[in-house]
């Protein structure tokens, strides 16, 4: 007999409280779509009315199988739920489920809110009842519940009972300050159930301030809670929320959870976990955490010599799960045996068939390894990887040669005594035996400077002879820059995403201590890839 | 009645198994000294004889109050402990304590070692007895103990009993593959104690493969184990070891541990925890993890507006401990979610006292909001925030004025027909009424190009008159770039982290469609902040 566990994702709300994180509406849409593909049950999209981004997200939210949830707070004292404009703003988002946070710790009621305990309990009851009357699924986020229960268990229970009696579908026990340890989370959750709130009405929301958020969540599930809240990659206020990227594989793969419970995440979807985690880092331009449980690039890297040799005999000797089930890969330094078959698959997907055992495979792996140690990364820059492989296979056509370039960035006062900047680029190429000089400046239609990479990009495509027309519909859609380690020096890695009129989208990488030069290299790769794809040059090589 | 808990640090041994980490002997000495100042009981220094760095470290180890421990493995089959050269190498390090790892999982004995179960048990007993006969304190690392116990409890118990009976001071239960969850670690540790190995002879060594290493350690302590193993910042093979940087404050500050146990770490030493954690990252040239429990720079950062305003009334509303006790600091980021009271607090910490109700406060908040909508972000760029506030308050000193600059990036063939790049920057400033022109190029000692931002930075500080000497010890330590939305256009946001010889570290931000210009703006802010901090200019304004 398995029981259903419900997964509630708050990446878009509590995750946005991460220092340095500010999602755009478009990014919120992309993340919601990825969460839905993973199979979470609820997606908390933000607080409609509290800021323009959240409101815009709900106005045009993606269609999801998961239940989209709006977040807000219980009504204020002295106003009816019907007349509370903040609450109305939340309801206006029109979501099926609404989660309202309210106080359960007596100290906060009197200190932070400055109202009586009875008023607070009534605010909770009335707010939840209002949601239910509007036909919504009501969730109550019991803020500071564990601290509140320790201080005044009767009052803490009174607040959640108010929500439960008013018809809340879920009472979410929150360890808002993140200081409660797993054993106590388990004990208090059990006592709440003994006090009459059924476990299948209880959720758990923890924070990682003692590095125990995942363990606290498991302790609450062990005690009987049936909704698990968390965020992708453990984003969230301060040290973050419980990390769903760790919790989901635990619940699906590890005992006693795997046989006892079922969630909305399938084993098929689980294989997308590593990719989803990396995508979020990509959006946030964060360096993925190598040591992250399950999805980190080091999670299945076996550095100790004794471990690595045993792994080759039997991977279960030093692995608690098969990395493939979460979409991750095993790394055994000093052994590229594992790599060759993956490599052939990746080449085939780019239309490059290479026979098994071809010595070029080892050459390509070496080259990738050497370049990665210089700071390159081919995880996302698939187009640059294809060009590298073509070169190693002797299948790289001669397209054009860049002889030299020069970019100037200048900032000075204009004739109106206003500081303005301008970039100018000169590129000299040789195409079909002929030398061509092009010059461009970086100017918008409105006369503002778009910078040196823009100027370079325009000069580069301006006159490439027979190839120019193919590049007409190509444009740069994203540009990511990261400082990384190349050998012993810090270098700049630039990843460029390009797009064309046919809807093709491809990524290229450039690395240099010089950011303009790194950008130029990625631009060159982007152009070469497109020319190989779309002209006869690629076929004849 | 408090009981003693012993802390065993393995940063220098298991921590060295982190992907990308390779300590030098000198770094090992520095880390051992820092661990000793913190007050751990054991410092595992490495495996003498296994590699030259570890041998050199033991040859010239720093004098520590902590018990320096050499690591190795139990003797091999068919050789006596006296004649095993690997074991002899370990003993030759001459440490008071020696920790030997051995197999406890029947599958590993037969698969990885290919010997009989009885032979393995005898190897353990004979090796431990040999250490004891030599007058050493013997520790036995029971590798794969939890997996082994699940598979064959009788045999797993037989191996650790062999070590215990032979005189081992500590039997360390290792969850080598990191897959065991806290409840099971607790259950199995209890059963080991019931089977006759006293808890005050048991240690616990966990890995973070499910993000539960800290919780598993606490579960073993709850069950009766009295030695805790881990690493600083959770370094270690794959996902890392149990993080002592989290465990130490939990054991000292959180209940039930704080009243039940005593360790060798004093509350005074605990105040050095954040510094020690950052020092390790510095040595490893890793960016400190912002969200790290207790010591991360975000661990006490309150971004949510409701949290921030409550914190100002009483910090315990949203903090589980006082950040000062672990040497960390509270941060109320200046994002547009925060209000006037946070702002005053933030300004005061920068030495800018502003009266409550001062209309400048509203002006500053507006300015922050307007700039954030252009793509600026002041969450981390506190130094730029201070400059913005000074300007709004009319307290920004006249330091110097940039009249214009020009940067050229050129890539061409050199006389050896090799493509090389070079950047050159000209900056024109006015200082003390005098115009000064400076030119610099971006060249390393080895002649390689470090790019346009490097050239600009050098030209800018080259001649700032009276200010030049103050900037001598300033250096750029990190440089982050992301493409973001500024109004309707994509713009580049650059965040620069700077550092000086006094150990000050500060962050500034620049935004522009032109990446060089955005970098220049962040550089300018970095220089201005330092000049205001360190010259009389800041006092007189």
- Looking at residue A198, which CATH number applies to its domain? 3.20.20.70
Share of chain B above pLDDT 90, in %: 66
We report the CATH number of the domain holding residue B388 as: 3.30.160.340
* A292 φψ region: left (φ > 0), alpha (ψ -120 to 50), beta (else): beta
Q: Is B407's CB within 8 Å of A404's CB?
A: no
Same domain (yes/no): B192, B254 = yes
Work out the average pLDDT over B180-202. 98
**pLDDT computed for residue A417 by the predictor:** 82
Chosen domain end from B446, B463, B480: B463
Closest by Cβ to B19, choosing from A73, A287, A290: A290
Under 8 Å CB-to-CB from B411, ≥6 apart: which residues? A404, A405, A406, A517, A520, B419, B420, B421
CB contact under 8 A, A17 and B303: yes
Please give the tally of structural domains in chain A.
Answer: 2
Regarding whether B451 and B488 lie in a shared domain, the answer is no
Among the listed ranges A323-332, B89-98, B341-350, B402-411, which one has the minimum average pLDDT value? B341-350
pLDDT at B211: 98
Residues B184, B151: one domain?
Answer: yes
User: Looking at residue A379, what is its pLDDT?
Assistant: 66
Q: Identify the residue with better confidence: B105 or B450.
A: B105
Rounded to an integer, the average pLDDT of B346-374 is 85
Same structural domain for residues B452 and B538? no
Higher pLDDT, A515 or B445: A515
How buried is residue B111: exposed, middle or buried, by Cβ count under 10 Å (0-12/13-18/19+)? middle
| pLDDT, mean of residues A414-424 | 87
Higher-confidence residue of A69 and A468: namely A69
Q: What is the pLDDT of residue A321?
A: 96
The range of the structural domain enclosing residue A477 comes to 401-540
For residue B515, the chain A residue with the least C-alpha distance is A451
Rounded to a whole number of angstroms, the distance from the CA of A510 to the nearest CA of chain B is 14
Whether A95 is in a domain gets the answer yes
The average pLDDT across A510-523 equals: 93
Flag if B421 and A303 touch (Cβ within 8 Å): no
Q: Out of A234, A250, A265, pick the residue that ends a domain.
A: A265
- What pTM was computed for the model? 0.76
Average pLDDT over residues B37-54: 92
Inter-chain touch B209–A320, beta carbons under 8 Å: yes
Contact yes or no for A449/B517 (Cβ under 8 A): yes
By Cβ distance, the residue of B249, B442, B483 closest to A479 is: B483
Helix locations, B60-99, DSSP H: 85-91
Which of B447, B463, B479 is a domain's end point? B463
Neighbours of B1 (CB within 10 A): 4
Any domain includes B160: yes
Within 8 A of B379 by CB-CB distance, chain A residues are 19-20
Q: Cα distance from A287 to chain B (closest Cα, Å)? A: 10
Q: Do B35 and B159 belong to one domain?
A: yes
- CA gap B341, B411 in Å, rounded: 52
| Residue of A411, A457, A489 for testing the chain B interface, max B β-carbons within 10 Å | A411
pLDDT at position A342, please?
Answer: 67
Helix axes A213-223, B182-194, angle to 10 degrees: 80
- Count how many pairs of residues, chain A against chain B, have C-beta atoms within 8 Å: 297
pLDDT in tens, A223-239: 999 999 999 999 999 99
Give a yes or no: residue B423 inside a domain.
Answer: yes
Task: Please give the mean pLDDT across all residues of chain A.
Answer: 91
What's the DSSP call for residue B63?
A: P
pLDDT band (50, 70, 90) for residue B416: confident
Compute the distance between CA of residue A270 and CA of residue A322 in angstroms, rounded to an integer: 12
CB pair distance less than 8 Å for B480 and A483: yes
When pLDDT is cut at 50, 70 and 90, the band that residue B520 belongs to is very high
CB atoms within 10 A of CB B460: 23
Q: What is the pLDDT of residue A485?
A: 64
Give me the mean pLDDT over the A477-504 stretch. 78
With a cut of 90, say whether residue B404 has pLDDT above it.
yes
Asked if pLDDT for residue B1 goes beyond 50, the answer is yes
- Tell me which chain A residues have a C-beta less than 8 angstroms from the C-beta of B449: 512-514, 517
Nearest by Cα to B541 from B418, B422, B392, B372: B392
The answer to whether ipTM exceeds 0.90 is no
Between strands A97-103 and A137-143, the pairing is: parallel
Say yes or no: B390 and B500 in one domain: yes
Is the CB of A513 less than 8 angstroms away from the CB of B379? Answer: no
User: Each residue of B77-124: pLDDT tens digit?
Assistant: 999 999 999 999 999 999 999 999 999 999 999 988 899 999 999 999
Q: How far is B516 from chain A (nearest CA, A)?
A: 7
> Using a CB-CB distance cutoff of 8 angstroms, which residues of chain B are in contact with residue A454?
513
Determine whether the interchain pair A214/B211 forms a contact, defined as Cβ–Cβ distance below 8 Å: yes
Q: Distance from B446 to chain A by nearest Cα, in Å?
A: 12
Highest mean pLDDT among A306-320, B394-408, B502-516: B394-408
| B246 in a structural domain | yes
A234, part of any domain:
yes
Which residue in the set A73, A210, A479 is minimally distant from B293, CB to CB? A210
The beta-carbon neighbor of A448 closest among B479, B513, B516 is B513
Q: What is the mean pLDDT of residues A68-82?
A: 96
Least confident of A4-18, A185-199, A297-311, B54-68: A297-311
pLDDT class for B127, splitting at 50, 70, 90?
A: very high
Identify which of A69, A170, A176, A68 has the alpha carbon closest to the alpha carbon of residue A128. Answer: A170
Interchain proximity A318–B289, CB inside 8 Å = no
Cα angle vertex B540, ends B536, B541, to 5°? 115
CATH number of the structural domain spanning residue A424 = 3.30.160.270
- Considering A326-330, A449-453, B318-322, the range whose residues carry the highest mean pLDDT is B318-322
Q: Do B413 and A404 touch (CB under 8 A)?
A: yes
Cα–Cα distances in Å, from B400 out to A191, A496, B311, B324? 66, 37, 39, 38
CB B36, CB B259: distance < 8 Å: no
- Among the partner residues B183, B406, B442, nearest to A222 by beta-carbon distance: B183
**B382 contact partners, CB below 8 Å, separation of at least 6:** B334, B350, B506, B507
Highest mean pLDDT out of A308-312, A375-379, B276-280, B332-336: B276-280
| Chain B closest-CA separation from residue A112 CA (Å) | 6
Does B299 have pLDDT greater than 90? yes
Q: Report the pLDDT value the prediction gives residue A241, as an integer from 0 to 100.
A: 98
- Given B298, B307, B411, which is nearest A517 (Cβ)? B411
d(CA A53, CA A13): 11
The confidence band for B194, taking pLDDT boundaries of 50, 70 and 90, is: very high
Measured between beta carbons, the chain B residues lying within 8 angstroms of A408 are: 406-409
**What distance in Å separates the CA atoms of residue A203 and residue A173, rounded to the nearest whole number?**
6
CA distance B212 to B206: 9
Does one domain contain both B384 and B423? Answer: no
What was the pLDDT predicted at A336? 40
User: C-alpha angle B90/B71/B266, rounded to 5°?
Assistant: 130
Percent of chain A with pLDDT over 70: 95
Residue B360 inside a domain? The answer is: no
Higher-confidence position of A252 and A492:
A252
> What is the share, in percent, of chain B residues with pLDDT greater than 70?
97
In this structure, the answer to whether residues B83 and B98 fall within a common structural domain is yes
| Least trusted range by pLDDT, from A284-298, A519-533, B195-209, B273-287 | B273-287
* Statement to judge: residues B481 and B512 lie in one domain: yes
pLDDT top residue among B484 and A496: A496
B17/B128 same-domain check: yes
Q: How far apart are the CA of B177 and the nearest CA of chain A, in angstroms?
A: 5
Residue A512 pLDDT greater than 70, yes or no: yes
Nearest to A254 among B111, B210, B335 (CB): B210
Q: What is the pLDDT of residue A337?
A: 44
Per residue, the 3-state secondary structure of A231-276, as one string, reads EHHHCCCCCCECEHHHHHHHHHHCCCHHHHEECCCCHHHHCCHHHH
Which residues on B lie below 8 Å from A231 (Cβ)? none
| pLDDT averaged over every residue in chain B | 91
**Co-location of B116 and B252 in the same domain:** yes
DSSP assignment, residue A316? G
Does B499 map to a domain? yes
Residue A40: pLDDT over 60: yes
Spatial distance between the Cα atoms of A30 and A33, rounded to a whole number of angstroms: 5
- Give dist(CA B516, CA B507) in Å, integer: 17
Q: Which of A215, A285, A476 to mutate to test the interface with B (most CBs of B within 10 A)?
A: A215
pLDDT of residue A51: 79
> Tens digit of pLDDT for each residue in A446-483?
777 888 998 999 999 999 989 989 999 898 877 778 77
For residue A99, is it within any domain? yes
Task: Say what the pLDDT of residue B230 is.
Answer: 98
Per DSSP bridges, beta strands B489-499 and B202-205 are: unpaired
- In the predicted structure, residue B51 carries a pLDDT above the cut 90: no
Instruction: Quote the tokens at residue B167.
Output: 């005189």
The answer to whether the CB atoms of A19 and B304 lie below 8 A apart is no
Helix (H) or strand (E) holding A115: none
Residues B459 and B379 in one domain: no
Helix (H) or strand (E) holding B209: none
Helix, strand, or coil here: B365? helix
Confidence grade of residue B488 (pLDDT, cut at 50, 70, 90):
low
Contact B254 A314 (CB under 8 A): no
By CB atoms closer than 10 A (0-12, 13-18, 19+), residue B209 is: buried
Among B29, B265, B316, B182, smallest CA distance to A212 is for B182
- Cβ-defined contact of B411 to A520 (cutoff 8 Å): yes
CB contact under 8 A, A112 and B449: no
Q: What's the rounded Cα separation, in Å, for the pair B91 and B224? A: 30
The reported pLDDT for the residue numbered A14 is 96
pLDDT at B304: 75
Of the candidates A300, A302, A423, which has its C-beta nearest B514's C-beta? A423
């Amino acid at each position: 007999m398995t029981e259903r566990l419900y997964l509630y994702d708050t990446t878009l709300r509590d995750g946005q409280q991460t220092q340095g994180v500010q999602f755009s509406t478009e990014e919120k849409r992309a993340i919601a779509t990825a969460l839905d593909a993973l199979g979470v049950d609820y997606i908390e999209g933000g607080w409609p009315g509290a800021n323009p981004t959240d409101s815009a997200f709900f106005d045009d939210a993606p269609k999801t199988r998961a239940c989209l949830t709006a977040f807000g707070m219980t009504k204020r004292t002295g106003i009816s739920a019907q007349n509370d404009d903040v609450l109305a703003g939340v309801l206006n988002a029109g979501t099926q489920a609404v989660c309202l946070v309210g106080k359960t710790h007596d100290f906060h009621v009197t200190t932070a809110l400055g109202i009586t305990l009875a008023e607070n309990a009534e605010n909770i009851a009335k707010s939840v009842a209002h949601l239910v009357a509007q036909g919504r699924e009501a969730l109550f986020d019991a803020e500071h519940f564990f601290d509140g229960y320790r201080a005044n268990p009767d009052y803490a229970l009174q607040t959640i009972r108010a929500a439960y009696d008013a018809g809340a579908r879920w009472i979410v026990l929150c360890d808002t300050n993140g200081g409660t340890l797993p054993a106590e989370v388990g004990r208090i959750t059990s006592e709440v159930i003994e006090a009459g709130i059924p476990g299948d009405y209880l959720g758990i929301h923890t924070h990682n301030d003692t590095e125990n958020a995942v363990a606290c969540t498991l302790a609450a599930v062990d005690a009987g809670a049936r909704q698990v809240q968390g965020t992708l990659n453990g984003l969230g206020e301060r040290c973050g929320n419980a990390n769903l990227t760790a919790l989901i594989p635990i619940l699906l793969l590890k005992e006693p959870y795997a046989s006892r419970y079922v969630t909305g995440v399938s084993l098929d979807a689980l294989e997308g976990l590593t990719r989803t985690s990396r995508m979020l880092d990509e959006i946030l331009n964060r360096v993925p955490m190598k040591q992250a449980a399950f999805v980190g690039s080091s999670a299945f890297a076996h550095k100790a010599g004794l471990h690595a040799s045993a792994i080759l005999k039997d991977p279960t000797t030093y692995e608690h799960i098969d990395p493939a089930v979460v979409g991750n890969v095993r790394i055994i330094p000093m052994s590229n045996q594992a790599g060759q078959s993956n490599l052939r698959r990746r080449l085939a997907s780019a239309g490059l068939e290479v026979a098994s055992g071809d010595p070029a495979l080892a050459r390509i792996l070496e080259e990738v390894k050497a370049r990665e140690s210089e700071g390159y990364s081919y995880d996302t820059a698939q187009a640059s990887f294809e060009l590298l492989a073509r070169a190693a296979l002797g299948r790289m056509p001669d397209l054009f040669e860049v002889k030299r370039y020069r970019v100037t960035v200048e900032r000075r006062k204009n004739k109106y005594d206003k500081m303005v900047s301008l970039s100018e680029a000169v590129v000299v190429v040789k195409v079909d035996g002929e030398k061509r000089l092009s010059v461009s400046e970086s100017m918008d239609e409105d006369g503002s400077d778009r910078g040196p990479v823009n100027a370079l990009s325009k000069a580069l495509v301006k006159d490439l002879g027979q190839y120019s027309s193919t590049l007409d519909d190509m444009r740069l859609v994203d540009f990511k820059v990261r400082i990384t380690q190349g050998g012993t020096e810090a270098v700049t890695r630039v990843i460029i995403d390009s797009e064309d009129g046919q809807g093709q989208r491809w990524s290229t990488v450039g690395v240099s201590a010089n950011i303009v030069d790194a950008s130029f290299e990625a631009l060159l790769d982007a152009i070469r890839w497109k020319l190989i794809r779309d002209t006869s040059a690629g076929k004849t090589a």
